[in-house]
């Protein structure tokens, strides 16, 4: 249909007819009912809305969906399920790396992107990768431990 915007979201081809100026975050949450990414500030300042665009983290509140035709988007939902959580999700659970949980999806998405790029990141690299995302609750130490745990788990995973 004319005007449809085609995307690949979590490996699935989708077409949406939202206004092209609509922020990707709203399309994900309202049209596609993927509620992992959160609305925090809407201003590109908190990272709660982080998703991956062709594997790189972006603030989905800041990107108009009309700019993304044909691009590959990965949300928290694409990194695992409740029954089969991915390595970073498992590590966040094991380390109890959340308090209110509002930042958690964005942190997991950004940590996943880092570990795809750098198998064994230094503390400095982890901090730099997560720096755009805010946690207001002070869960930082647990989040850092979770990312280190996830990295170790990925490095020792079979295959
Ligand atoms: S909601 Fe997008 S950066 Fe805060
Ligand atoms: S756990 Fe509440 S903002 Fe991070």
The 3-class SS string of 51-116 reads: EEECCEEEEHHHCEHHHCCCCEEECHHHHCCCCCCCHHHHHHHHCCCCCCCCCHHHHHHHHHHHHH
CA of 1 to the centre of ligand 1 (A): 31
CA of 104 to the centre of ligand 2 (A): 7
**Per-residue DSSP letter, 132:** T
| Residue 13, beta-bridge partner list | 8
Name the closest-CA residue to atom 2, ligand 2: 100
Is 140's C-beta closer than 6 angstroms to any atom of ligand 2? Answer: no
Is 143's C-beta closer than 6 angstroms to any atom of ligand 2? Answer: no
pLDDT in single tens digits along all 159 residues of the chain: 457 999 999 999 999 999 999 999 999 999 999 999 999 999 999 999 999 999 999 999 999 999 999 999 999 999 999 999 999 999 999 999 999 999 999 999 999 999 999 999 999 999 999 999 999 999 999 999 999 999 999 999 876
Task: Give the C-alpha separation, 143 to 146, whole Å.
Answer: 5
Task: Give the C-alpha separation, 72 to 62, whole Å.
Answer: 16
Spell out the residues 6+ positions from residue 39 whose beta carbon is closer than 8 angstroms to its own: 25, 29, 48, 49, 61
> HSE of 134 in the Cβ direction (CA atoms, 13 Å)?
10
């Amino acid at each position: 249909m004319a005007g449809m915007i085609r995307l690949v979201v979590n490996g699935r081809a989708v077409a949406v007819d939202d206004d092209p100026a609509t922020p990707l975050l709203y399309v994900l949450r309202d049209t596609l009912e993927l509620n992992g990414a959160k609305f925090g500030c809407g201003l590109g300042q908190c990272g709660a809305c982080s998703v991956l665009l062709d594997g790189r983290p972006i603030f989905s509140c800041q990107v108009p969906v009309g700019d993304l035709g044909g691009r590959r988007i990965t949300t928290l939902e694409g990194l695992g399920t409740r029954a089969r959580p991915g390595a970073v999700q498992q590590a966040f659970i094991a380390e109890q790396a959340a308090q209110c949980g509002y930042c958690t999806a964005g942190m997991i998405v950004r940590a996943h992107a880092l570990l795809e790029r750098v198998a064994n990141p230094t503390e400095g690299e982890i901090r730099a990768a997560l720096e755009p995302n805010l946690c207001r609750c002070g869960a930082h130490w647990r989040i850092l431990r979770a990312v280190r745990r996830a990295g170790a788990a990925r490095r020792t995973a079979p295959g």
